[in-house]
């Protein structure tokens, strides 16, 4: 065992024996062959690094401190102190140390591929491909994200550079060299005042001038590293790589100049654009504009995944063969405006959550964030149940620069196929809905299909174009769900590329028809730029329009529109350009011919003065629509003004005229215009109760019929097969025929009630497995027709049997303990600090305590705060007043001692803000103890208990779920090798004074032998109710076993029930209890009734879906924790957005969208000027 002086011989045993080896100078000399100069693999100001080999053949890197170095010992101590505490697979691992006074050395894992600088500069034979560079960037960002956001308190590296990013034999990147690192004094610290140190070229300019060190200083250095990965240029040449890159990216076809020419075009052009954008955002001069590393990592991962998907599927067309710039979108020639704010703010990724966005990339394989528009696109999974995912032809895929539109969903089967959108704010609110289409010869037939588009039950438009087109409608839905349907008219297979929904201000776009179809939305005088989000908070598309007959004018000074309460929210960039007539007395006129004399048109004209007028100058004009005076206006400088027209119809021509008044000495001006026509919503929707009932049937019985899409009864020619409807003012379902559909289970009570009162005639003949009585058995029917018990019942029975055994064992231990002589309570006052071992002159991260010190700390074991099969946990107080938890294993439990060793060894190498920290230990043979940080708010099970009067809110529960997921994701994916907890449960999730969740109790944890193992064969262990059934049956332990347990925890958070629910009829597992409620769609019965209606339906269903995915019977169907964490963050974001909007009187739906250049489908000829 390690002595109080901190040395442990190589053959020592005990808690720390396997974790951090102490080497003598002779051992270090033997490892490095007496510090052979031929073994030197690195050299710096204060040290040399030698390649060595341990006695067991393990290769290591030995960093030896130079005796003459003045600053060396301080940096050495800093690095040792940090690496003794932290652990992550993307940080270099410390294996041991030598601490002799004149001979100090650190022994690390050896990384065979050297450092990144050598690999980029050509100093070794290894050439990095584009895909490899992206993977290295992701690895390094993940390591830095751990230091910044998952260490407690956070760490700043201070010397991020390519020479300090090392590569193992698999080219996995690991950050090294922590000698200059600094640690915040607390978790909430934001900066440290200190002298600027680091490496020239990588040093943050703001840090150099202000001496304020922040996380953003590392971000700048990391941005320089990204530029090196892209360009392979030296940081300091004739010109700094940042200055050079910022200048070059402004040029057309910049990729040819900036991307490493040795790649010879073998890279994905889209990912190159994205990576350059990320890098430039990191090296912003102002630290406040740089993103957080968590966002950088997420963006890099999306960039890498995009590239890998393409390289594994269709061949990547990079370099000169691709469209060279994001703005060069085909088939449109319009340049898209890129807002400088979209990638600079670390919080921008969440901004769309509060704006009521739903953004769906139809047919896309994965979710992703579009940085150019700062909108998050989701796949269409969960929004539609039919159709097939397709990709446009590889011959044209690169004609459209944006990601959206490269995939699509086609619907070869059925007449009507529908997407169902369920925005948070629901019915009677105003939404902009946009559907985009690009055929792209995806089927190789080169035959453009023609089909109809419906909004709910009414005709919207006909789609027939081989270009990238979109249709847009402003809609006030009568129900909470909105159906967007594609209808096959016999002229080709319907398809869709993108579907977007945006919540608008209800005070704008007034209509009497319930829906306005957008015909044109023009940025007058806007040059070549098209504006969308983030410039437009509602993500409207403002296409440039420059009429030759009009004079284009612009203002280069940006407007500050925040001082005006303008509900229309026209972007400042749109208002800063305009057109005026060539002469003062010449009118501005637009006119067009409607497609029908009964067509109602709605017009919105946007004005702002953009020229600074002299005191004597006046601009005043009158607005006429169809020759009727609407308003006289005098626009003010920088102040937006909107004139909305009344509904207009005309048998021939509609015109709009601006004419100056007699007082005006300047011509009329127009900045932007929106022209829309009313949709004819004549078809009524089916009664909402009937819709709910039939959808419940569809879900319960998993009815799969092509016609069962959209509204059941309306329109008549598209009603569902098997239904008969009565068509009055509101269609009603009067009969249902599901005979011969191979249904099983029982008939829903809601359907039975309708039958009983005569509101519905239903036929379920020829469904032998369907129970049509009230006394349906809960047993299942096997394939041979025999009744058998439910698998979940069998699982619960097995788990309860294990519980009985554990309880008997616990009673035996308690009986033995009662026979022991009790220890009298003695009041002890601590007289001084509890000293721990020293490493390189600094305290170890865990302190060794003697048994007498443990007795003093716990006041002679006075207060028990926890108890289990392992032993007891006592409250303790250190000399400085810090509260701790002291776990004492039972002397009569062999298993307790094993778990004690396993937990101690694990917690001495792992560190994460969402794992309970080990403060120290006592390893005396008869008096072992583990000392942890104290969690003042107990465990999660106590807070969920029905006896707890302080009920956790829904948002608190989601926050706890996210934090626990972060800790588990670190164990699974951040540790090397990965670690499986094996005993996740609500009582092992502890809460500190801030209610932050920390995973505890690692006594059953197992580590994989290597990074690449998938399972461990071991005996089943864990807690009944949480134990993975597949692990219990096979003995194969995998990460997915923890995922199952985590799913149970999620259900406990959602419902408030324990894993095994005790009822008057016996015990029932929570999965068995919740499954029928999920099948009925009864979310109100699922969620904890103590919420009292404060739980939002959308986020609750999202959480249920995540939990169900975690507890799938087959482990292969369960998600990895990184996906669970991502989904939970999305769910929490939805709830936070909803709470904020409630406080501000504004509701929203979570979602985001990306922008792409498009040509609008014009139903009429564009308006003409004169």
- pLDDT band of 87, cuts 50, 70, 90: confident
**What percent of the chain is predicted at pLDDT more than 70?**
77
* Rounded distance between C-alpha atoms, residue 2 and residue 152, angstroms: 26
Contact 727, 716 (CB under 8 A): yes
3-state SS assignment for residue 59: strand
What six digits make up the tokens of 566? Answer: 């303008």
Same domain, yes or no: 102 and 140:
no
Q: Between 720 and 807, whose confidence is greater?
A: 720
Same domain, yes or no: 466 and 569:
no
pLDDT (0 to 100) of residue 183: 77
pLDDT (0 to 100) of residue 563: 55
- Asked whether the whole model's pTM tops 0.75, one would answer no
Position 11 in a domain? no
Which residues of 878-926 form beta strands (DSSP E)?
883-889, 918-924
- Of 170-179, 664-673, 755-764, 852-861, the one with minimum mean pLDDT is 755-764
* Residue 66 pLDDT greater than 80, yes or no: no
Run of H or E residues at 484: strand 482-491
Place of tokens 């102002």: 286
* Rounded distance between C-alpha atoms, residue 407 and residue 390, angstroms: 6
Contact 987, 1049 (CB under 8 A): no
pLDDT (0 to 100) of residue 492: 95
Q: Between 996 and 901, whose confidence is greater?
A: 996
* Residue 71 pLDDT greater than 80, yes or no: no
- pLDDT band of 312, cuts 50, 70, 90: low
pLDDT (0 to 100) of residue 703: 73
Nearby residues of 1133 by Cβ (< 8 Å), 6 or more positions away: 350, 353, 1150
What six digits make up the tokens of 608? Answer: 């702002």
Question: Tens digit of pLDDT for each residue in 483-495?
Answer: 999 999 999 999 9
Position 811 in a domain? no
- pLDDT band of 957, cuts 50, 70, 90: very high
Strand order in the sheet with 21-22: 21-22, 94-100, 103-109, 59-65, 47-53, 40-43
Same domain, yes or no: 945 and 984:
yes
User: Which residue is catalytic, options 452, 983, 1088, 1127?
Assistant: 983
Q: Which of left, alpha, beta for 554 (phi over 0: left; psi -120 to 50: alpha)?
A: beta
Torsion of CA 857, 859, 863, 867, to 10 degrees: 50
CATH number at residue 213: 1.10.510.10
pLDDT (0 to 100) of residue 179: 79
Contact 297, 141 (CB under 8 A): yes
Run of H or E residues at 1063: strand 1060-1063
Residues of each annotated binding site for ATP: 887
Position 808 in a domain? no
3-state secondary structure 257-315: HHCCHHHCCCCCHHHHHHHHHHHHHHCCCCHHHCCCHHHHHHHHHHHHHHHHHHHHCCC
CATH number at residue 98: 3.30.200.20
* Rounded distance between C-alpha atoms, residue 549 and residue 541, angstroms: 24
* Rounded distance between C-alpha atoms, residue 500 and residue 492, angstroms: 24
* Residue 981 pLDDT greater than 90, yes or no: no
pLDDT (0 to 100) of residue 693: 80
Same domain, yes or no: 507 and 557:
no
Position 611 in a domain? yes
Same domain, yes or no: 175 and 310:
yes
Same domain, yes or no: 507 and 528:
no
* Rounded distance between C-alpha atoms, residue 573 and residue 339, angstroms: 10
* Rounded distance between C-alpha atoms, residue 481 and residue 418, angstroms: 12
Q: Between 753 and 429, whose confidence is greater?
A: 429
| Mean pLDDT, the chain, integer | 79
**What percent of the chain is predicted at pLDDT more than 90?**
35
The length of the chain in residues reads: 1170
Question: Tens digit of pLDDT for each residue in 584-630?
Answer: 988 998 888 888 888 899 999 999 999 888 888 999 999 999 888 98
Nearby residues of 224 by Cβ (< 8 Å), 6 or more positions away: 161, 201, 202, 235, 241, 242, 283
Contact 1160, 518 (CB under 8 A): yes
- pLDDT band of 754, cuts 50, 70, 90: low
Contact 552, 546 (CB under 8 A): yes
* Residue 944 pLDDT greater than 90, yes or no: yes
Same domain, yes or no: 613 and 661:
yes
* Residue 997 pLDDT greater than 60, yes or no: yes
- Of 334-348, 354-368, 542-556, 1105-1119, the one with minimum mean pLDDT is 334-348
* Rounded distance between C-alpha atoms, residue 937 and residue 996, angstroms: 9
What six digits make up the tokens of 151? Answer: 């260490």
Residues linked to residue 521 through DSSP beta bridges, in sequence order = 674
* Residue 148 pLDDT greater than 70, yes or no: yes
* Rounded distance between C-alpha atoms, residue 768 and residue 771, angstroms: 8
* Residue 802 pLDDT greater than 70, yes or no: no
Position 589 in a domain? yes
Same domain, yes or no: 364 and 441:
yes
pLDDT (0 to 100) of residue 188: 52
Q: Between 1036 and 852, whose confidence is greater?
A: 852
- pLDDT band of 695, cuts 50, 70, 90: confident
| ∠ Cα 784 790 795 (to 5°) | 130
Over residues 64-81, mean pLDDT: 69
Choosing from 648, 678, 708, the residue where a domain stops is 678
CATH number at residue 549: 2.60.120
3-state SS assignment for residue 113: coil
Place of tokens 């594609």: 486
pLDDT (0 to 100) of residue 773: 63
Q: Between 206 and 905, whose confidence is greater?
A: 206
- Number of H-type helices and E-type strands within the chain: 25, 64
pLDDT (0 to 100) of residue 356: 80
pLDDT (0 to 100) of residue 848: 84
* Rounded distance between C-alpha atoms, residue 590 and residue 183, angstroms: 65
Contact 218, 160 (CB under 8 A): yes
Top mean pLDDT of 24-33, 196-205, 688-697 is at: 24-33
Question: Tens digit of pLDDT for each residue in 152-184?
Answer: 788 888 899 999 999 988 899 999 988 788 876
* Residue 835 pLDDT greater than 50, yes or no: no
Nearby residues of 450 by Cβ (< 8 Å), 6 or more positions away: 462, 463, 464, 489, 491, 492
Burial class (CB in 10 A: 0-12, 13-18, 19+), 5: exposed
pLDDT (0 to 100) of residue 20: 59
Chain Cα centroid distance, residue 577: 37
Position 798 in a domain? no
Choosing from 463, 482, 514, the residue where a domain stops is 514
pLDDT (0 to 100) of residue 362: 96
Over residues 784-813, mean pLDDT: 40
First-to-last alpha carbon distance for the chain, in angstroms, is 93
* Residue 974 pLDDT greater than 70, yes or no: yes
pLDDT (0 to 100) of residue 892: 60
Same domain, yes or no: 158 and 306:
yes
Helix 1070-1080, helix 791-819: angle, nearest 10: 150
Residues of each annotated binding site: 887
- pLDDT band of 127, cuts 50, 70, 90: confident
Choosing from 84, 109, 134, the residue where a domain stops is 109
* Residue 58 pLDDT greater than 50, yes or no: yes
* Rounded distance between C-alpha atoms, residue 245 and residue 254, angstroms: 9
pLDDT (0 to 100) of residue 2: 35
- pLDDT band of 684, cuts 50, 70, 90: very high
Position 819 in a domain? no
What six digits make up the tokens of 246? Answer: 């910022």
* Residue 992 pLDDT greater than 50, yes or no: yes
| ∠ Cα 25 31 36 (to 5°) | 95
Same domain, yes or no: 282 and 393:
no
CATH number at residue 383: 2.60.120.260
pLDDT (0 to 100) of residue 39: 87
Query: How many domains are contained in the chain?
Result: 7
Phi (first) and psi of residue 30, to 5 degrees: -65, -40
* Rounded distance between C-alpha atoms, residue 409 and residue 386, angstroms: 9
Question: Tens digit of pLDDT for each residue in 508-567?
Answer: 888 877 899 999 999 998 777 889 998 888 999 999 988 888 999 988 776 666 556 577
Chain Cα centroid distance, residue 213: 28
pLDDT (0 to 100) of residue 487: 96
* Rounded distance between C-alpha atoms, residue 975 and residue 987, angstroms: 24
Over residues 471-487, mean pLDDT: 94
* Rounded distance between C-alpha atoms, residue 41 and residue 48, angstroms: 8
Dihedral sign (CA 263, 265, 268, 269): positive
Nearby residues of 501 by Cβ (< 8 Å), 6 or more positions away: 356, 357, 358, 359, 421, 423, 431, 432, 433, 434, 482, 1149, 1151
* Residue 934 pLDDT greater than 80, yes or no: yes
Question: Tens digit of pLDDT for each residue in 249-300?
Answer: 887 777 778 999 998 888 888 889 899 999 999 999 888 899 999 999 989 9
Question: Tens digit of pLDDT for each residue in 873-882?
Answer: 999 999 888 9
Position 1047 in a domain? yes
* Rounded distance between C-alpha atoms, residue 177 and residue 942, angstroms: 43
Q: Is 566 a catalytic residue?
A: no
Torsion of CA 658, 659, 665, 671, to 10 degrees: 0
Domain that holds residue 250: 116-325
Print burial letters for 507-532: b (CB count within 10 Å at least 16), e (below 16): ebbebeebbbbbbbbbbbbbeebbbb
Among candidate residues 941, 1026, 945, the one with its CA nearest the CA of residue 983: 1026
Question: Tens digit of pLDDT for each residue in 1116-1156?
Answer: 889 999 999 988 988 888 787 766 656 544 333 333 232 22
Question: Tens digit of pLDDT for each residue in 1040-1088?
Answer: 999 999 999 999 999 999 999 988 888 999 999 999 998 888 898 999 9
DSSP assignment string, 963-991? HHHHHHHIIIIISSS-EE-S---GGGEEE
Over residues 888-910, mean pLDDT: 69
Same domain, yes or no: 771 and 867:
no
Question: Tens digit of pLDDT for each residue in 756-771?
Answer: 555 667 677 777 777 7
Same domain, yes or no: 102 and 167:
no
Contact 5, 839 (CB under 8 A): no
């Amino acid at each position: 065992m390690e002595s109080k002086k901190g040395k442990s011989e190589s053959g020592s045993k005990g808690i720390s024996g396997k974790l951090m080896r102490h080497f003598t100078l002779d051992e270090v000399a033997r490892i490095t062959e007496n510090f052979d100069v031929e073994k030197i693999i690195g050299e710096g100001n204060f040290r040399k690094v030698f390649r060595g080999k341990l006695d067991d053949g393990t290769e290591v890197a030995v960093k030896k401190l130079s005796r003459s170095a003045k600053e060396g010992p301080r940096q050495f101590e800093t690095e040792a102190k940090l690496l003794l505490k932290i652990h992550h697979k993307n940080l270099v691992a410390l294996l041991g140390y030598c601490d002799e006074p004149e001979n100090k050395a650190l022994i690390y894992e050896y990384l065979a591929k050297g450092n990144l600088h050598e690999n980029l500069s050509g100093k070794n034979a290894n050439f990095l491909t584009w895909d490899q560079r992206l993977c290295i960037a992701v690895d390094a960002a993940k390591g830095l994200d751990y230091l910044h956001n998952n260490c407690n308190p956070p760490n700043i590296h201070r010397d991020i550079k390519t020479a300090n990013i090392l590569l193992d034999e698999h080219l996995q990147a690991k950050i090294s060299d922590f000698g200059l690192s600094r640690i915040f004094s607390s978790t909430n610290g934001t900066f440290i005042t200190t002298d600027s140190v680091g490496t020239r070229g990588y040093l943050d300019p703001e840090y150099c001038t202000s001496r304020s060190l922040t996380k953003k200083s590392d971000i700048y250095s990391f941005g320089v590293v990204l530029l090196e990965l892209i360009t392979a240029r030296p940081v300091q040449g004739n010109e700094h790589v940042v200055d050079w890159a910022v200048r070059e990216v402004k040029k057309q076809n910049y990729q040819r100049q900036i991307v490493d020419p040795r790649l010879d075009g073998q890279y994905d052009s889209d990912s190159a654009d994205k990576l350059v954008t990320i890098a430039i955002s990191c090296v912003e001069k102002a630290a406040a504009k740089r993103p957080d590393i968590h966002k950088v990592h997420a963006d890099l991962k999306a960039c890498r995944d995009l590239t890998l998907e393409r390289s594994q599927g269709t061949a990547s067309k990079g370099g000169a063969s691709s469209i060279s710039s994001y703005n060069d979108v085909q088939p449109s020639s319009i340049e898209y405006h890129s807002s400088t704010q979209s990638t600079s703010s670390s919080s921008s990724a969440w901004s769309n959550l509060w704006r009521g966005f739903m953004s769906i990339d139809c047919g896309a394989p994965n979710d992703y964030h579009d940085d150019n528009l700062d909108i998050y696109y989701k796949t269409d999974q969960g929004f539609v149940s039919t159709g097939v995912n397709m990709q446009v032809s590889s011959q044209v895929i690169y004609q459209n620069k944006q990601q959206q539109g490269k995939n699509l969903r086609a619907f070869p089967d059925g007449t009507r196929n529908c997407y169902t959108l369920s925005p948070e704010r629901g019915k009677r609110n105003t939404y902009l809905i946009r559907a985009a289409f690009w055929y792209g010869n995806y089927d190789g037939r080169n035959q453009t299909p023609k089909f109809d588009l419906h909004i709910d039950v009414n005709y919207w438009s006909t789609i027939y174009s081989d270009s990238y087109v979109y249709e847009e409608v402003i809609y006030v839905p009568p129900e909470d769900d909105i159906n967007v349907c594609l209808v096959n008219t016999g002229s080709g297979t319907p398809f869709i590329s993108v579907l977007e929904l945006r919540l608008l201000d209800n005070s704008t776009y007034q209509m009497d028809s319930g829906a306005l179809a957008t015909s044109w939305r023009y940025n007058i005088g806007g040059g070549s730029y098209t504006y969308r989000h983030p410039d437009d908070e509602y993500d409207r598309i403002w296409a440039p329009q420059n009429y030759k007959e009009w004079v284009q004018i612009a203002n280069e000074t940006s407007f500050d529109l925040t001082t005006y309460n303008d509900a229309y929210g026209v972007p400042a960039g749109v208002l800063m350009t305009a057109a005026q007539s060539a002469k003062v007395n010449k009118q501005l006129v637009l006119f067009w011919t409607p497609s029908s004399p009964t067509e109602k048109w709605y017009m919105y004209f946007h004005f702002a003065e953009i020229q600074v007028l002299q005191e004597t100058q006046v601009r005043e004009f009158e607005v006429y629509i169809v020759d009727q005076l609407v308003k006289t206006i005098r626009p003010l400088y920088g102040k937006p003004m909107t004139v909305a027209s009344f509904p207009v119809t005309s048998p021939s021509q509609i015109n709009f005229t601006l004419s100056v008044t007699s007082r005006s000495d300047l011509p009329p001006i127009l900045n932007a215009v929106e022209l829309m026509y009313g949709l004819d919503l004549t078809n009524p929707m089916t009664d909402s109760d009937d819709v709910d009932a039939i959808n419940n049937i569809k879900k319960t019985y998993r009815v799969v019929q092509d016609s069962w899409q959209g509204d059941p009864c309306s329109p008549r020619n598209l009603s569902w097969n098997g239904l008969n409807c009565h068509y009055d003012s509101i269609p009603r379902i009067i009969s249902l025929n599901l005979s011969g559909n191979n249904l099983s289970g029982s008939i829903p009570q809601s359907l039975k009630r309708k039958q009983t009162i005569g509101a519905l005639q239903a036929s379920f003949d020829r469904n032998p497995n369907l129970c049509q009585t009230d006394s349906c058995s809960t047993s299942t029917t096997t394939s041979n027709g025999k009744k058998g018990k439910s698998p979940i019942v069998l699982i619960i029975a097995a788990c309860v049997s294990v519980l009985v055994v554990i309880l008997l064992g616990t009673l035996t231990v308690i009986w033995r303990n009662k026979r022991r002589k009790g220890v009298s309570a003695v009041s002890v006052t601590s007289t001084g600090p509890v000293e721990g071992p020293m490493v390189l002159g600094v305290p170890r991260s865990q302190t060794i305590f003697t048994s007498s010190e443990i007795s003093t700390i716990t006041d002679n074991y006075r207060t028990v705060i926890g108890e289990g099969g392992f032993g007891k946990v006592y409250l303790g107080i250190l000399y400085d007043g810090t509260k701790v938890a002291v776990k004492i294993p039972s002397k009569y439990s062999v298993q307790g001692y094993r778990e004690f060793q396993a937990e101690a060894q694990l917690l001495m190498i792992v560190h994460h803000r969402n794992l309970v920290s080990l403060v120290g230990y006592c390893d005396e043979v008869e008096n072992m103890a583990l000392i942890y940080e104290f969690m003042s708010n107990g465990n999660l099970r106590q807070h969920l208990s029905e006896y707890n009067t302080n009920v956790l809110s829904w948002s608190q529960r989601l926050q706890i779920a996210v934090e626990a997921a972060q800790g588990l994701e670190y164990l699974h994916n951040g540790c090397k090798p990965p670690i499986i907890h094996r005993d996740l449960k609500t009582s092992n999730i502890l809460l500190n004074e801030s209610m932050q969740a920390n995973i505890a109790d690692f006594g059953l944890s197992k580590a994989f032998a290597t990074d690449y193992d998938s399972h461990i064969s071991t005996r089943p262990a864990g807690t009944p109710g949480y134990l993975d059934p597949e692990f219990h049956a096979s003995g194969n332990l995998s990460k997915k076993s923890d995922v199952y347990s985590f799913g149970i925890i999620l259900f406990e958070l959602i419902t408030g029930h324990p894993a095994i629910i005790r009822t008057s009829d016996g015990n029932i597992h929570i999965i068995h209890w919740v499954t029928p409620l999920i099948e009925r769609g009864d979310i109100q019965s699922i969620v904890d009734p103590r919420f009292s209606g404060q739980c939002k339906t959308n986020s609750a269903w999202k959480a249920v879906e995540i939990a169900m995915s975690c507890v799938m019977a087959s482990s292969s169907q369960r998600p990895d924790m990184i996906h669970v964490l991502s989904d939970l963050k999305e769910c929490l974001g939805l709830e936070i957005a909803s709470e904020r909007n409630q406080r501000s009187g504004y509701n929203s739906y979570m979602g985001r969208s990306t922008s792409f250049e498009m040509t609008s489908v014009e139903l009429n000829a564009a308006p003409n000027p004169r």
